[in-house]
Structure 1
C-alpha cells in the first residue's frame, strides 16, 4: 500500500503526485505515490479545494476528507477512480452540484456526503452504481426528485436524503426493487403522495424515517417488517380522521425490536388498538401527539415498562388515567395534555421518580393534587392547569427544588394558602397559580426565587 507524506523538498520519481491544501491560511504541499490505495485526511483543518489531480491516484480505494474546512465542489475528475470503494466527504463545507461523473465510479459501495452545501439535482448517473450499498446526502440543499434509477439498485441498503428540498413521491414498487434496504430516511423534505404498500416487502428494513413531509393517505400494513427498531412518520398528512386509520399499528405486534414509534402531527383518527399494550417491551418512545384519536387510553400501555417518553397530547382521549401508568418507572416525559380525560390524578404517578416533564393540563381532571408527586424529585416542568382540581396545594409539591422551567396550576379550583416552602424554587423560571380560590398571605420566601421571569 502506498503512503502520503509532507516535506519541504520536492521528492523525485515519475510516480509522485503533489497537491496543495491550506491550513490556517498557510499553503502546504502533500506528496503521495500514484500507487496510493487509502487516503484518510478526516478530522483536520484542511482548507482550499479538493485537488483535481487526486484522479491520478488510479489505485485509490478509500478517500475520506470528512470534517475539514474545504471549499468548492467535488472535482468531476474524481469520476475516473474506477477502483474507489468508499468516498466520504461529510461536513467539509463543499458546495455546488454533485458531478454526474460520480456515476462512473463502478466499484463504489459507500458514498457519504452529508452536512455540506450541495445544491441542484441528484444526478441520474448515480443509478449506474450497481455495487452501491449506502447513498447519504443528508443535510444539504438538494432539490428536484430522487432519480428513479436509484430505486432500481438492488444492492442498496441505506438511502439517507433527510433535510434537503427534495420533492416527488416514493415509487409504488419500492419494496420489490430494494430487497436489501435497511434504512430509508427522507425526513424534512417536500415529498408527497402515499406510502407504497410494497414497503411491507422490504423485510430487512431497520429504520423508517419519513417525517416532516407531506405524505398522505393510509399507512399500509407493516406486518413483515419484524426487524424494525424505529418508525418515525410524524409531521405529515397521513390518515383521514377515520376509525380504521390506525390498523397499521396492529401489524407492528411482531416487531419485537421496536424502540421508537412516532406518528404524531398527522390526521389519524380512531382509537388506539388494545394490541398497543402488547407492542415490543423494548419500546422507549411512543408519540401519537396532535391527531384526532379518541376513546380510552389502553391500559396495556402500562406494560411498556421501558418507555422513556409517552406523548399523547392534543387528541380527544376520554376516560381515566389508569393507575398502572405508575409501572413505567423509566419514564422521563409524560404528556397527555389537551385531551378530554376525567377522574383523579392517580397517586401512582409518584412512582415515576425519573420524570422531568409532566403535563396533564387542559383536561377535565378532578380531585386533589396527589402529594405523592413530591417523590418526583427530577421534575423540571409540572403543568396541571385548566382542569377542575380542588383541595390545597401539597407542600411536598412546592418542595420540589428540581422544578426549574415551569410550575402551572392555574385555572383550577384550588383553595387554601400557598405553602411557605415555595422559596425552594431557587431556579424556577415560571410560576402560575392564577384563577383559583387561593387565600392568605403571599409567603415572604417567594422573594428568594431569583430566576422567576
Structure 2
C-alpha cells in the first residue's frame, strides 16, 4: 500500500503564515466561540490552509513565492472583547516581519499606545497605510516619513500630538495625506510644498497654528484642501489661486484675517468653498460667483461685504451662506437671478421689504434672513416657493397678517417668525394641508385669537411649538396635549384661560412645558406627573428623533443647546438637549394641591409653580426628583412642613419656598445645608433651621431624663437670585436640530420670580 503526503502550506511563505497566526493569537477573544466577526473572519486563519485564502489577506499571484502584499484588517477586533480588553500597538509586531506588504489597513480598531515607528520602518515597500480611527497617541514617528513609496497615508481620528515634521517632504510619491481629528499642532512646514503629486490634503480638526505656507501653491495636482477647525492665522496666501484643479477648499473655523484673495477667482474647477468662522474682511470678490462649477459657498461669520454685481452670474448654488457679515442695503437683487437651494443672509444689516421675486424660484428650499432690519408685510406670493423646507425670518420688523398663500407651502418642515410684529390669527400656518411641519416658532409677536382647530393637522409630526408672548386667548385645546411627537410646548405669556387638559395618555415625548404667565385655573392634572418624557427621558433618549429634521438642509446651524446657569453661558451638543427637562406653570391661578405624582418626574431638572394659589402640603414625593436642580414654589398658600425628603435632593442648587405658610425645621442634607439664603424661606409661618440661623425649639424631654441635642456644622453658601436659563440656540447651516431657551427666577415687579421660555438665535 502506497501512502501520499500533502504539504499543508500550499502557496504563501511559511514565515509569513506564522507571523499572521502569531498576530491572531495576540488578539483577545479571537478563539472564542461567541465571537462576532463583523469584517474579518479569523476562523479562516488556521495552520492547515493557505494564508492566501484567508479573509483579509491578499497574495501576489504573479510571484513564485506568492508573498502577502495586502492586509485588510479593518475593524478586526472581535466585538465580544469590546470594553473588556485593551488592544495595544504591540499586537502589530508580528506584521512587521511581512516586508512584502504593499497595502496595510488596520483602521477602526481600538489599538492604544504610540505608533510603532521602528516596526513600520521595516515595511519599506508600503504604498498604502491606513491607521484611521484607533487610539494611537504621542508624536507621529519620524520613521513613517522614510517610507518613500507611500502614496496614501491615513491617520485620522486618533490622539496624535506633537508637530508635523519637516521630513514630510520626503514622501514625494504621496497622493493622499489625511490626518484630521487629532491633536497635532505647530506650524505647517514649508516642505509640504514638495509633495507635488498630492491630490488630497486633509489636516482638519487639529491644533495647527501660524500661517498657511505659500508653498501650497506648488501643489498643482491638489483637488481637496481641508484645513478647517485649526488655529491658523494671518492671510490666505495669494498662491492658492495657482491650484486650478482644486474642487474643495475648507478653511473654516480658524483665525484667518485679511481679504479673500482675488486669485481664488481662477479656480475654475472649484465647487465647494468654506471660509466661514474666521476674521476675514473687505469685499467678497465678485468673480467668485462666475465660477461655473461652484455649488457651495459658505462665508458665514466674518466681516465681509458685498457689492451689487454688474453682470448677473448664471450658476446654480446648493448653498450660499453669507450670514453674520457686513452685508447692508436692500435685499441683493442679483441673487434673485441665481438658482439657490439654501440661502443664509441672517445677522447682517439688510433692510427694506422682501421682493416678491424671491419666492418665485422653484429651487429655494432653505431661507434664513434672521436678525436684520427687514420690515413691512410678507409678499402675498410667498406660497409660490413650493420647495421651501426651512423659513427663518426671526428678529426683524415684519408686520401685518400672514399671507393666505402660506397654505400652499406643504413642504415646510420648520418655520421661525419669532420676534417680529406679525398679527392676525394663526389658522393660516396650521391650516397647511398635508403639513410636514415639525418646528414652529411664533413667539414675541402680536398674534391673537384662539388656538385653532387646524392645529390638528400637525398632530402626528409636530415636535416643537412656541407661541409665547402673543395675545392668544381661550382655552388650551385637549388635542394639543395628545400629540405623541411633541417635545417642547411654550405658551408662556398669553391670555389663556380654563384648565390644563387632563387627558395626557398619548403625550409620550414632552419634556419641556411652559404655560407660565397666563390665566389658567383649576387643579394641576395628576397625569402631568406621569408624562413619559419627564418620568424617564433616558428610556426615550435611545429613540429620540434627532434625525426627524430630515427635511431641513443638512448644513443648518441649529446645532447646540445654550445653557445660562448662574449667569454663565455654556453650549452643549444638541444630543444633550434631552437631558434638560423642565416644567413651568408659574404666574397663573392654579389651585388645589401639588399632585403626589410629580414625585415620579425623575428627569425634571427645573420645576416652577410659583405665583399661584396652590394649597396643602408639599408632597414628600418631590424628594424623589433625583435630577432636580431648581425648584420654585414661592408665593402660594402651601402649609405644613418642608418634607424631610428634600435632604435627599443632591442636585438641587436653587430653591425658593418664600411667601407661603410653611413651618417647622428646614431639612438637612448635603445640598440643603448649602441653600442658606434667608430670602428663599422668607414670609412663612415659622420656619427654622441652620440655613436661616433660626434655632428650632427642642422637644420637651421627659422629666429627669436629660437629653442632649447636637447641632451639625453647616457650610455657608450663597447663590444668586437670578438663577438659570436654558436655551436652544438657532442659526443656520451646521447640523440639524432645535433650539429652546428658558430664563429662570428673573427678578422683576410686581411678580419678581418668573420662569420664561423662548426660542433664541445664536449670539
Residue 284 (structure 1) shift: 1.0
Q: What residue is the counterpart of 1:396 in the other structure?
A: 621
Could you tell me how far 1:173 is from its partner in structure 2? 3.1
Report the TM-score when normalising by structure 2.
Answer: 0.53
The CA distance in 2 between the partners of 1:126 and 1:282, in whole Å, is 44
Equivalent residues in 2 for 1:231-270 (5 A)? 231-239=415-423, 244-255=424-435, 257-270=436-449
| C-alpha displacement of 1:59 | 4.2
Question: Is the deviation greater in 332-341 or in 302-311?
Answer: 302-311
Per-residue CA distance 1:404-449 (angstroms, 9 max, x = gap): 1x21112212121211222123332222222222233333444265
Question: Cα–Cα, structure 1 residues 99 and 294, in superposed 2: closer, same or farther, change >3 Å?
Answer: same
Matches within 5 A, 1:11-22: none
Taking a change above 3 Å as real, the CA distance of residues 179 and 185 of structure 1, as seen in their structure-2 partners, is same
Q: Could you state the TM-score of these two structures normalised by the residue count of structure 1?
A: 0.88
Is 1:167 the counterpart of 2:351 in the alignment? yes
For the 8 Å contact 2:612–2:635, the answer to whether it is kept is yes
Q: Residue by residue, what CA displacement relative to the aligned partner does 1:351-387 show, whole Å, maximum 9, x if unpaired?
A: 1243321111111111111010000011111111111
Shift of 1:397: 1.6
Q: CA deviation at 1:12?
A: 12
Please list the CA deviations of residues 233-254 of structure 1 after superposition, one character each: whole Å capped at 9, or x if unmatched. 1111111xxxx52131332342
Q: Which residue of 1 aligns with 2:209?
A: 24
What's the offset of the Cα at 1:336? 0.3
1:221-240 correspondence to structure 2 within 5 Å: 221=404, 222-239=406-423
- Of the structure 1 ranges 47-56 and 23-32, higher mean CA displacement relative to structure 2 is found in 23-32
Matched ranges for 1:155-304 at <5 A? 155-176=339-360, 178-221=361-404, 222-239=406-423, 244-255=424-435, 257-304=436-483
Single out whichever of 191-200 and 55-64 deviates more from structure 2: 55-64
**CA distance, structure 2, for counterparts of residue 335 and residue 126 of structure 1:** 51
3-state SS of paired residue (1:101): helix
Cα offset for 1:174? 2.4
Structure 1 residue corresponding to 2:290, chosen from 104, 124, 133? 104
> Shift in Å at residue 89 of structure 1?
1.4
Mean alpha-carbon deviation: is it higher for 182-191 or for 352-361?
A: 352-361
Does residue 146 (structure 1) correspond to residue 146 (structure 2)? The answer is: no
Count matched residues: 435
Would you say 1:434 and 2:624 are equivalent positions? no
Show the counterpart of 1:366: 591
Q: Decide which of 316, 338, 345 is 1:131's aligned counterpart.
A: 316
Summarize the Cα distance change of 1:341–1:78 in structure 2 as closer, same or farther, 3 Å threshold. Answer: same
Asked if 1 retains the 8 angstrom alpha-carbon contact of 2:193 and 2:218, the reply is no
Contact kept? 2:602, 2:627, Cα under 8 Å: yes
State the SS of the aligned residue for 1:439.
strand
Give the CA deviation at 1:23.
5.5
Whether the 8 Å contact between 2:600 and 2:624 is mirrored in structure 1 is no
Q: CA 1:350–1:331 in structure 2 vs 1: closer, same or farther (change >3 Å)? A: same
Question: Kindly tell me: are residues 100 and 274 of structure 1, through their superposed partners in 2, closer, same or farther at Cα, counting changes over 3 Å?
Answer: same
Which of these residues, 629, 638, 646, is aligned with residue 414 of structure 1?
A: 638
> 2:646 is paired with a residue of what secondary structure?
helix
Residue-by-residue CA offset, 1:46-75 (whole Å, 9 max, x unaligned) = 433222233333444333333333221111
- Counterparts of 1:43 and 1:121, CA distance in 2: 25
After superposition, the Cα gap between the structure-2 partners of 1:125 and 1:108, relative to the gap in structure 1 and judged at 3 Å, is farther
Instruction: Tell me the secondary structure at the aligned position of residue 218 of structure 2.
Output: strand
Query: For 1:442 and 1:37, how far apart are their aligned partners in 2?
Result: 69
2:407 is paired with a residue of what secondary structure?
coil
Q: 1:88 to 1:125 in 2, by over 3 A?
A: farther
Separation in structure 1 between the aligned mates of residue 455 and residue 365 of structure 2, nearest angstrom: 24
| 1:10/1:434 CA distance change after superposition, 3 Å | closer
The offset of 1:210, in angstroms, is 1.0
Which range moves more in the overlay, 183-192 or 53-62? 53-62
Q: Which digits, 9 at most, give the CA deviation of each residue in 1:267-302, with x for residues without a partner? A: 111111012133141211111000011001111112
1:306 corresponds in structure 2 to: 485
Partner secondary structure for residue 411 of structure 2: coil
Q: Distance in 2 between matches of 1:279 and 1:36?
A: 49
Equivalents in 1 of 2:357, 2:369: separation in Å? 17
SS in 2 for 1:71: strand
Judged with a 3 Å threshold, the aligned counterparts in structure 2 of structure 1 residues 426 and 128 are, in CA distance, closer, same or farther, namely: same
Say if 1:34 and 1:56, in contact at 8 Å, map to a contact too: yes
* Range that drifts further, 44-53 or 299-308: 44-53
Q: Deviations over 1:148-181 (max 9, x none)?
A: 121232x2111111222322221123221x2111
Show structure 1 runs of 4+ deviating over 6 A.
2-7, 9-13
Structure 1, 166-175 or 438-447: larger mean CA deviation: 438-447
Alpha-carbon spacing, 1:296–1:122, altered in 2? closer, same or farther (3 Å) = farther
244, 250, 256: which one pairs with 1:64? 250
Gaps of 5+ in 1: 14-21
- Alignment partner, residue 315 of structure 1: 494
Q: Structure 2, unaligned stretches of length 5 or more?
A: 1-173, 178-188, 197-206, 535-580, 676-714, 720-763
